Structure 1
């Protein structure tokens, strides 16, 4: 069994600027919008990494391609610093 350290993954993702091919960040509503559908994730509703994992599983169940999920994780690492530091903003 492989242990996954989400804080390390998110911290690494936050260090590099994501490409934003599949998602658009809406500053006014503070959400991420998937460009190929009406899927929208409100960042205010992701208080911790457990909720983020729930979103990742949900988005995977909706048939998102792996590159879109990878971009989503990178963007969450960038726009939700409390997930990488363990401290709320």
Structure 2
């Protein structure tokens, strides 16, 4: 668990390059590179823009670490639901 948390933090920081937030261009790059295999529509600029707007709670046009964690929670929850559904089908 500790290594997973370190990876989440390190990934965010590597994309922000010392800034506090992910701007639109950087957010798009991160989503495409990091979530392409676990999320749909990561090749769609409009879908990524919608995703960013949905995460941007303070409407500053950027994604903060806290907003990034919301995305991580959503992805983790979706993966968990798919795994549970898959396990139930196998039973």
TM above 0.5, one fold?
A: no
Structure 2 length-normalised TM: 0.35
Higher relative contact order (CA 8 A, sep 6+): 1
More helix by share: 2
